[in-house]
């Protein structure tokens, strides 16, 4: 891989990476819960990775001051990015917030802050597991 500075990436690129990173944590969690059938995996994964769920998680993080100041910068970069894709199952505002959520994961992953990625993922999985979204 060529050298690049993840801090210079646009919000959509950060969200692209973050989406994949968060999804792996969710998939690992679901498998660890003994869920193995494809239909059940997909149905359960949506609870964690939908735009609605991610917007809820950002709301909870804001209430608890969970994100660092730097993460807030990258959340806003993702949220405010102009995407060519459109929301399929949600409104535009929720979709943009979820893009910001994913950008936080992408930023931390691409800057080598794996420990923080684990903390974020565990927080999110715990919060969603407590809810019936």
Residues identified as active-site: 19
Q: Which residues of 8-24 are buried (b: 16+ CB within 10 A; e: fewer)?
A: ebebbbbbbbbbebbee
First to last CA, the chain: 39
SS3 per-residue string spanning 43-78: HHHHHHHCHHHHHHHHHHHHHCCCCCHHHHHHHHHH
What single DSSP character describes residue 17?
A: H
């Amino acid at each position: 891989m060529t050298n690049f500075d993840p801090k210079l990436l646009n919000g959509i690129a950060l969200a692209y990476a973050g989406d994949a990173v968060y999804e792996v944590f969710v998939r690992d969690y679901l498998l660890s819960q003994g869920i193995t059938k494809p239909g059940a995996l997909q149905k359960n994964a949506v609870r964690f990775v939908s735009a609605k769920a991610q917007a809820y998680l950002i709301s909870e993080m804001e209430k608890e001051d969970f994100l660092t100041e730097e993460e807030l910068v990258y959340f806003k970069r993702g949220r405010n990015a102009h995407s060519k894709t459109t929301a399929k199952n949600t409104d535009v505002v929720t979709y943009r917030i979820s893009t910001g959520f994913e950008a936080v994961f992408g930023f931390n992953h691409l800057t080598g802050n794996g420990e923080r990625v684990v903390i974020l993922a565990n927080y999110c999985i715990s919060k969603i597991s407590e809810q019936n979204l």
